[in-house]
Amino acid sequence: MAALLRSLQDSQLVARFQRRCGLFPAPEVYGQKYIVKNYFYYYLFRFSATLGQEVFYITFLPFTHWNIDPYLSRRLVLIWVLVMYVGQVAKDILKWPRPSSPPVVKLEKRVMAEFGMPSTHAMAATAISFTLLISTLDRYQYPFVLGLAMAVLFSTLVCLSRLYTGMHTVLDVLGGVLITALLIALTYPAWTFIDCLDSASPLFLVCIIVVPFVLCYNYPVSEYYSPTRADTTTILAAGTGMIIGFWINHFFHLVSKPAEPLPVLQNIPPLTTDKLVLGLAKFTVGIVLILLVRQLVQNLSLQVLFSWFKVVTRNKEARRRLEIEVPYKFVTYTSVGICATTFVPMLHKFLGLL
């Protein structure tokens, strides 16, 4: 067993996979630049890698809420936040290095300072695809085999992209998938109960703000700076904001409560031209408002914190300090989450897009 684990953690295995897919290090600066001999795999896996990044979450999760089903978006947000927090903390506790370069070619620079085990891309992709599959089984009628195939395809592409980009070993990816499967299995019996908490008392609202902020502020300390704490704060804050938005929607009766699964539908509503145009309009309006809120709140929160701690404005290193990074990111992305779940639907209603 130990020999198997060592082989799965071996960087040579990742390097062989890259070469099979047509990705080679350039001889003149080995391990830094690369040569692509198969552009199909290159673009496929580079695109697949984005399906586990912030740009996907900030678009897919709100899109699900605005255009598909708020019931599904609530479950996706809850499981996504849980899985990502566990994965991020596990990285900084285990401190397993990423694949060595050489022999591996590394295509992403931002996350190179992070540790490798487990792969949070693999965790997020597995969590989202299979939570979506499980949550739609008693809500919509469609071929189960088709849904399972799509979930497996989505998660597999993201997992393979982490090997192709040289960011993880096979063991990192498998570890992420297995941890996610365990978390889904353990939490599944409580999904319905957790989903009903948005109708709880205002005390629930206090807890959902305080607990994530404390978790962010007490994130495991690293010997050197990496974006892991910032990314974790962003994830927890966005999830907190969306859950607050769900609570506001129910408490103030802004939307009807869809806590119980709907009866099984005979068919998923067909995608017509009118629905496509309406969906794109809602998505565009929502994303524009989210980006505006994000920029406004980020600037204001940084100005307040810089003034409070007497720090030079636009000091990049100062933004990484615990007492500045955590509060400004938490406030910014909590606002984004509330905006996405409460104010954007209100704007849609005002513009006649509902």
Question: Are the C-beta atoms of 105 and 29 separated by less than 8 Å?
Answer: no
List b or e across 73-85, with b for residues whose CB sees 16 or more CB atoms inside 10 angstroms: bbbbbbbbbbbbb
Q: Label residue 120 exposed, middle or buried (CB < 10 Å: 0-12, 13-18, 19+).
A: buried
Q: Is 65 a catalytic residue?
A: no
The closest of 259, 235, 338, 269 to 67, measured between CA atoms, is 269
Count of alpha carbons within 13 Å of 85, Cβ hemisphere only?
A: 23
Residue type, 324: I
Residue 250 among the catalytic residues: no
136 vs 130, 139, 228, 265, CA distance in Å? 10, 5, 32, 10
Cis peptide before 103 (omega within 30 of 0): yes
Q: Which of 121, 250, 253, 348 is catalytic?
A: 121
Q: Whole-angstrom Cα distance, residue 352 to residue 354?
A: 6
User: Which secondary structure element, helix H or strand E, spans residue 34, and what is its range?
Assistant: strand 34-36
Q: Which of 213, 33, 60, 193 is nearest to 124 (CA)?
A: 60
**Phi first, then psi: what are they for 288, rounded to 5°?**
-60, -45
Q: Which helix (H) or strand (E) holds 44?
A: helix 39-50
- The count of other CB atoms within 10 Å of the CB of residue 352 is 6
Phi and psi, residue 23, nearest 5°: -115, 120
Nearest to 126 by CA among 161, 167, 83: 83
Q: Do 158 and 122 contact (CB within 8 A), yes or no?
A: yes
Active-site hit among 168, 250, 253, 348: 168
Q: What are the catalytic residues?
A: 121, 168
